[in-house]
Every structure is written in C-alpha cells, then in structure tokens.
Amino acid sequence: MKLWLPFAASAGALLAVASFVGAGWDAPPVASEQLGFRGTGMFQHKDIETEAALKAANVVPPAPWQADPSGDKASDLYQNVQVLGHLSGDQFNQLMAAMTEWVSPEAGCNYCHNPENLASDEVYQKVVARRMIQMTQTINVDWKSHVAETGVTCYTCHRGKGVPAQVWSSSLEPKPAGNMTSNRNGQNVVAVNAGNSSLPQNALMDYLLGDKPIRVHANTALPTGVNTVGTMETEGTWSLMMHMSESLGVNCTACHNTRAFNDWDQSPPQRVTAWHGIKLARHLNVTYMEGLTPVFPANRKGPEGDVLKIGCATCHNGVQKPLYGVSMLKDYVDAVAVKGSTDVPDFSTYVPGKTEVLGGAATSVTQP
C-alpha cells in the first residue's frame, strides 16, 4: 500500500472544505452571458454577489431641486463667474448645491470657497473645479463617440470624495536596490493599475498620457521583419489591457474575439467605443490635468511629483457603463451639456491664498 495516498486524500478533503468555509475563499453563484457567436468562447462571467455590491455603490443621487431656467443670469447676480455665467441664478445655485454633495459633502462650500469672499479664487480647489467644469462640458459636447447621450457629471468620478478614488500617477516605488536591479523597466513589482500583476507599472504614462502605439499583434506565426515590436512593447500593451479590464469589470471578450485580437471585423462594437475612450482619457490628461500642475499642492500629486491623472477606472469604477448607464444630464443640461467659456488662464501665475481673480469673466455659450 502506498502510504502517501491517505495523506493526499486527507489534504484533498481539507482543501475542499476550506474552499467553502475558509477565510478568503469563495464559491459564489456566477452569471454567464454569451457575447459572440456560439463556438467562439465569448462569454462574460460575473459574480452575482459582487454585482449586487457594485449596483449598491452606483446609485445615482437625485437633483437637489428642479431648477428654474428663467430669471437673471448668474453673471449678473454674482462676481467672477467665468464658465457658468449663462445659467439662471436658480440653475447656478442648483449646480453648486449638487457639486457640494458630489465632491465635498462634509466640508461643504468652504472646500472651494473663502466663506468671507465667495467670489475669490484664493482657494485652489475653486480654480481646479472651474477647469473641471470646462472638462465635463467638453466631454459631453465633443466626445459623444464615447459617452453617447448618457454623458458625465462631477459625480461620475468623484462619488462624494474631493479626489476621485480611481486616479493614477507615475510611480517608481519600490525604488530598486541598485546594481543589476536598477533598470527593471517598471516591472517585477505589483502594478496596481494593471490588475496587481507584474506587468509594467507605468504603462498608462505611455498610452493615456503619451500616444505610444498600442497595436502589437503580428499577422504571421513567425517573424518576417515587418512587425518590429518585441516583448517589451507587448507587455506594455498587455498592462493597458489589464487596466481596462479591471476598470470595467470585464474580460477580453468585451472588446475582442480572442481568436483574432487584431481583426476589427470580428470584434464587438464595444471595441470602437473603447478606442475612443483611450483617446478621450489621453486628451483629458494632456489638455486638462497636466495644465493644472502649477495649481496643485505637493500633497495632491503623485510620489514622483506629477499630477493625479484620469484612467478608465476613474469614471467606470468597476462597471462596464459608469453608473450602469443611468444619465444624470437631464437635471443639469444647461450647466454641463453645453460649453461655457473655453478660455484657459495662465495657471503658472496662480498663488494660492492670494490670487483673487484668475483669468477673465467671459460668459459666451457654445451649443452642442
């Protein structure tokens, strides 16, 4: 008799029991959805318990009240209203009340304003908020290729926090010890933005800030010299794909037929939406976030001193459609679904605590 058999059987039995009752183990009910033609293996599998938690975390808050679009304009009622001056006084106050709940429910108005002088720009968060309103308007007007008619508001990303939970920046932590480990190319550490894998940890710098080519797929099994990308570029692309997958709570088949990753004709339409999403995130980081570098204090920047930036998870927060596709725009159409002033001040001149007015006070509106 082989003595190891009873031990192996006992270990197997203990493992089976642990899979159901042990800490950290889970055998949840799973819902499966077929996405592609039968035989392609294109399925999404979702943990029903996790889905219930996600739905509870993605409830759209109601508007504080239904605003009256008539009456005097905000630019006539208040000072230093540069982007929202086209709103009526009631619409302006409604948006301010909503933003308080979306971004700073505990600090209230004082998070962005000096309570002794609400018109002043001396609190840096007000300068940032004004630029973020411009960003939100741009997304809703110019990027329907990604957000469609659903659009976004401040709440899409902030969810009651001053800084959205899902942002990213460059990171070299943990620093290499030196010698042979000093050039690890951002690998062999936990890549938080790539599904906690050991893929390149700063790949988002290449693709969601820079415009490094993403496509690495060859059309032949063996090298021909036509496709010159190598393992390093492939791992970078893989890191980005892991980020997108984790951000949306989906697998590869949400955007690809995995028998032919490179073939657009065999891919679901969501791949086109995702392509626009990559371009959108890159545009927002370059045009809006990077420009605010002089305004943000050191404690609102990453470990390497760069500003916190936007990724797929910033809006999606683990679900394929942010807030499960529920639109908030109907209550704030005039505020964030049209463009107010697009003027950009010189942020390098801003001095927190001293600058009372940064930029002009234009109130023109560009309809979508």
Binding site listing:
96, 109, 112-113, 132, 146, 154, 157-158, 241, 252, 255-256, 312, 315-316
CB 113 within 8 A of CB 126: yes
Residues in contact with 305: Cβ distance below 8 Å, sequence separation at least 6, in sequence order = 298
Q: Which of 171, 136, 152, 103 is nearest to 316 (CA)?
A: 152
Q: Where are the alpha helices (DSSP H) in 71-217?
A: 74-77, 89-103, 124-142, 144-147, 154-158, 203-204
Task: Give 44's Cβ-side CA count (13 Å radius).
Answer: 19
d(CA 128, CA 345): 12
CB 324 within 8 A of CB 316: no
Rounded to 5°, the CA angle 37-39-40 comes to: 65
d(CA 118, CA 109): 9
Q: Per the annotation, where are the binding residues for heme?
A: 96, 109, 112-113, 132, 146, 154, 157-158, 241, 252, 255-256, 312, 315-316
* 267-273 contacts, C-beta under 8 A, 24 or more apart: 268/35, 268/36, 268/42, 270/320, 273/145, 273/146
